[in-house]
Structure 1
Amino acid sequence: MVNLITGPRGSGKTQQMIDLANEKVKTSSGNVVFIKRSHKDTYSVDFNIRVIRMADYPDILTLEEFVGFLYGMAAGNHDIQAVFIDSILKQANITLESLPSFIQKLIKISSENNIDFYLSVSADKNEIPDIDSLECTVL
């Protein structure tokens, strides 16, 4: 399942993602991963959540490479149950225009590996192309 948290910059999406991740790790029998561009604003993430700073992986530059990174995580750890990706439009070269394609790839990863994805998007729901045709939930 792919879940989106949308809204303008500064509307509290990161804190909402952290709160959701902290709740998820309490009830999960598997691993929870939180992906961010930097470690800024992650001081309140539960210690049991694996935080990944994408700035540590500077060679992941494209949507395809980012998807490959996610497949690698899933292949390397079959216990991942949830992946939170904060500020998705700041990851690799993902844009509002390419977001539907990226979400379709996440839906495939999700169904193949039983992983729930949570993405924060700095845009209103109506700004995301084809959002109503995607099999995702806007929280």
Structure 2
Amino acid sequence: MVNLLTGPKGTGKTQQMIALANTASKESDGNVFFIKKSHRDTYSLSFDIRAICMDDYEAIDNIDAYLGFIYGMTSANHDIESIFIDGILKHAHISLDDIPEFIEKLKKISRDFNIDFYISISADKNDLSHVDLTDCALLN
């Protein structure tokens, strides 16, 4: 399942994502990953969540490289249950125009590897009208 948390910048999406990830790590038998732009707020995550800061991977600079990175994570760790991606529009030069393709590919990864994705997007729900929300959940 792909879960989307939308809203304008500064509406508390990061704190909601951190709370959701911390809850998931307590309830999960597998691994929880949290992908974010920088090292900021990493201390708020539970110690058993694998935090990944994309600033450390500057060569990942487009949607294909980003998806390759996610596929690499899944191939290296078959126990991933949840991947949280905070502020996707800040990562790898991904724009709102890339979101439909990105969501479709995450749906496939979710089905193939039984991974729940949680994505925060600094955009209004109306800005996502071109996204096929089948098999997605809006968290707000």
Change (3 A) 1:12 1:133: closer
2:12 matched to which residue of 1?
12
On the 8 A contact 2:99/2:131 being kept in 1, the answer is no
CA deviation vs aligned residue, 1:36-66 (integer Å, no higher than 9, x gap): 0101122210000000011111100010000
Q: Following the alignment from structure 1 to structure 2, what is the Cα–Cα distance between the partners of residues 41 and 10?
A: 14
State the AA in 2 paired with 1:54: M
* Aligned structure 1 segments of 4 or more residues deviating by more than 4 angstroms: none
Q: Following the alignment from structure 1 to structure 2, what is the Cα–Cα distance between the partners of residues 86 and 133?
A: 19
2:100 matched to which residue of 1?
100
1:128 matched to which residue of 2?
128
On the 8 A contact 2:38/2:55 being kept in 1, the answer is yes
How many pairs are equivalent?
Answer: 139
On the 8 A contact 1:32/1:82 being kept in 2, the answer is yes
Structure 1: gaps spanning 5 or more residues: none
State the secondary structure of the residue aligned to 1:131.
coil
Q: Following the alignment from structure 1 to structure 2, what is the Cα–Cα distance between the partners of residues 6 and 136?
A: 12
State the secondary structure of the residue aligned to 2:42.
coil
Change (3 A) 1:134 1:91: farther
Q: Following the alignment from structure 1 to structure 2, what is the Cα–Cα distance between the partners of residues 67 and 3?
A: 17
1:57 matched to which residue of 2?
57
Q: Following the alignment from structure 1 to structure 2, what is the Cα–Cα distance between the partners of residues 76 and 8?
A: 34
Structure 2: gaps spanning 5 or more residues: none
2:21 matched to which residue of 1?
21
1:38 matched to which residue of 2?
38
State the secondary structure of the residue aligned to 1:70.
helix
TM-score, normalised relative to structure 1: 0.96
Q: Following the alignment from structure 1 to structure 2, what is the Cα–Cα distance between the partners of residues 132 and 114?
A: 20
Q: Following the alignment from structure 2 to structure 1, what is the Cα–Cα distance between the partners of residues 6 and 44?
A: 21
TM-score, normalised relative to structure 2: 0.96
1:74 matched to which residue of 2?
74
Cα RMSD, aligned residues only: 1.0
Report deviation, 1:93.
2.1
Q: Following the alignment from structure 1 to structure 2, what is the Cα–Cα distance between the partners of residues 105 and 132?
A: 12
